[in-house]
Structure 1
Amino acid sequence: MSARAALLLLPLALAACGQAERLSRIGRAPDFSPVSDPTQDPRYRPVSMPMPAPHEAPPLANSLWRPGSRTFLRDQRAAQVGDLITVLVTIDDDAQLQNRTQRSRNGTETMAAPNLFGQERAPRRLYPPGADPAALLNTNSTGTTDGNGNVRRNEQINLRLAATVTQSLPNGNMVVMARQEVRVNNELRELSVQGIVRPQDIASDNTVRHDRLAEARISYGGRGSLSDIQQPRLGQQLLDVLSPF
């Protein structure tokens, strides 16, 4: 094999190595991820948040009522690591942004020295042949910028996911993580939610709205044949990143 042929085949070999996972599932649906402890995920990081000064609640003598309880005998809401809680994701956003920027600048500079304290001829040796002292410098510059941006977004998402309490913070707040996978034909939809919830924001039916989650991270994506087609080809993505034009 000649060196030229090897150079031509090298990009194809590199592209094939980078797409080994996609090549391995040609003709079959994507596999589900195994059910596992979310804290064992390599991307998992314990959450550290600013905490208030410790405050010990005063004892309630002869009281059958648990502080914060929604039921008389027992609170059914999530309260400790390992408990489950339902996260309600309801997003209905409609935003339209339009920006217009225009800029124009003109500049003219003219310099001449027809009279120089009677020494007009002295510096002629510094001028190029045929230079006119009355027109030594004349410059013109024009700059124009016109930018126009328009963004229109309309999103509607309604999800219900069961989340697991993965961490209990010193102030009582809880870190929750939820993940769900749904496979339809050859497309695997992946849903994930994580954030920090206050016990007071948990409803009596053990549900919490997504807008009550601090540091919320909501992902709705997928992988499979449809997602592969929607992505630009590798060569096009590479040109988009490296091309300066």
Structure 2
Amino acid sequence: MKTGNGKRSRPDFSQERKRGIFGLCGSTVANTSKLSILDLQEIFDQLIRGLKDTTLLEYIAVFAGIASVYYSRIENILVYPVGLINTIIYVYLSFKFHLLGEASVNFYYTVMSIYGWLLWTKKDKEKHPVIHISVSDKRWWVYQLLFFVFFYVLIFFSLSYLKKVFAPGAIPWADAFASATAFTGMWLMTKKKVESWYWWIATNIASIPLYFVKGLVFTSFYYMVLLVMAIFGLIEWRKRTLSNQQQI
């Protein structure tokens, strides 16, 4: 689609997609009495239109994100510098499309990537890594659940207020869930906890429809790829944990 000055603009499918996807969730859509399901052809058409209007910046962010997840799966320190490219770009894109919770997540990612980068490079006197992949005990499970609940409540009420004042297009409950699970997953990733992948899986599942309704179709597809990679990451880290336990 072109504007009057000849420049391409991203078509706004947000209302149409909300009816087709978030309408299934009931109360999150303004007119829940008229729920509709997009047929496969309509979804495919929207995907093609969205891909055509995807910016170079979004492509760079997507491929940097995929590379970052790959590096995290194989426990490579490059997960953090490559991830910084992804997170900084998505801070900008999230603000632009009123995904305020996701903007806060990516800002948090940026800070935690620097922290994780420093933490993963720490070595003991024998030059061995200080942090190893491990499984959470009961105490750590309580910590991460409390961590998730705290951020979900904080982000949900913050977005509910901002929706009325600044961002009418925000979807507080979905954005808060995707954000809080991501906060938890990133924190656990810096500690090399296997359970970080469970939280990443939850984040990816929530983010697929969240970005789709906002017109960021390529990013929605990106989260589908991340979902598959997160499942393989979970399998890989569990294998490494068992291998480490056998060596002890």
TM-score after normalising by structure 1: 0.22
Larger % of helix: which?
Answer: 2
TM-score after normalising by structure 2: 0.22
Larger % of strand: which?
Answer: 1
